[in-house]
Amino acid sequence: GIQVEQSPPDLILQEGANSTLRCNFSDSVNNLQWFHQNPWGQLINLFYIPSGTKQNGRLSATTVATERYSLLYISSSQTTDSGVYFCAVERYETSGSRLTFGEGTQLTVNP
Amino acid sequence: GAGVSQSPRYKVAKRGQDVALRCDPISGHVSLFWYQQALGQGPEFLTYFQNEAQLDKSGLPSDRFFAERPEGSVSTLKIQRTQQEDSAVYLCASSLGLLAGVRGETQYFGPGTRLLVL
């Protein structure tokens, strides 16, 4: 099946700093989503981005499908950004309708 | 409701007990998914429904796990004779799935059920 690798595994920032999270995947995909898992375990949709660039407030994401990676940018980080960020992909032809998740990036933003 | 809901939110079971976990998808969503998330790891796929049809159950870890969606809306994940290794968060997700075989739709997740087997 498709492999998903996220980096870095852990990231500690001071409030106000910017960061870039990376997601590499091993094959072409039909779907790529970025999630934020809050301390209560809820997976919050950030972006549906199988290709291209999107922005939502302080967050933006870029997926370069031909090179099989996606980047999540967080600008002017806030303590509420803390949590685990997951990248998940779907490749219907080989895995059916399922998301395959990476191991996540644990982000801690200190005041 | 506006989102996916799951119940119970927390469940403590003694080893050997049967448990049933419920998922209410977003109204009108055809596709429904169950995932299992162990501590410190990403969610892993268990099973997938399109309406009432279970199209993929390849992720279910053993025959103690059973899922159903009899009317194409609410789904139940049942675990028989629970074991300690079943302790995890069980996540349900739904997507529009308007056309059979449609690919690449956003999946929306519920808050999960935390299962602890003692």
User: What are the φ/ψ torsions at residue A89 (nearest 5 degrees)?
Assistant: -130, 160
Instruction: Report whether pLDDT(B100) > 70.
Output: no
Please report residues of A whose CB lies closer than 8 A to that of B50. Answer: 97
A83 CB near a chain B CB, below 8 Å?
Answer: no
Q: Tell me the per-residue pLDDT of A31-76, one tens digit each, with 9 for 90 and over.
A: 899 999 988 889 999 999 999 999 999 999 999 999 999 999 999 9
d(CA A41, CA A20): 22
Min Cα distance A97 → chain B (Å) is 7
pLDDT tens digit string along B10-68?
A: 999 999 999 999 999 999 999 999 999 999 999 999 999 999 999 999 999 999 999 99
Q: What's the gap in Å between the CA of B111 and the closest CA on chain A?
A: 5
- Our CA-based measurement puts residue A89 at a distance from the nearest CA of chain B, in whole angstroms, of 9
Task: Give the per-residue pLDDT at A66.
Answer: 94
Give the C-alpha separation, B46 to B35, whole Å.
Answer: 5
Task: Find how far residue B2's CA is from the centre of its chain.
Answer: 18
User: What residues of A are in contact with residue B43 (Cβ under 8 Å)?
Assistant: 43, 86, 88, 99, 101
Looking at residue B81, its pLDDT comes to 98
Select the residue of B59, B89, B108 nearest A41 (Cβ to Cβ): B89
pLDDT of B1 higher than 60: no
* Predicted pLDDT of residue A1: 85
pLDDT tens per residue across span A7-21: 999 999 999 999 999
Cβ-Cβ pairs closer than 8 A, A with B, add up to: 68
Report the half-sphere exposure of B8 (CA within 13 A, side-chain side).
Answer: 9
Query: Does position B102 have pLDDT exceeding 60, yes or no?
Result: no
Q: What is d(CA A91, CA B36) in angstroms, rounded to the nearest whole number? A: 19
Is the pLDDT score of B99 beyond 60? Answer: no
CB within 8 Å of B111: residues ≥ 6 apart: A40, A41, A42, B5, B6, B9
In whole angstroms, what is the distance from residue A84 CA to residue B78 CA? 28
* Average of per-residue pLDDT across B81-94: 97
Q: What is the pLDDT of residues A83-94, one digit of tens each?
A: 999 999 988 776
DSSP 3-state assignment of B84?
helix
Sort out which chain A residues have CB atoms less than 8 A from B87's CB and list them: none
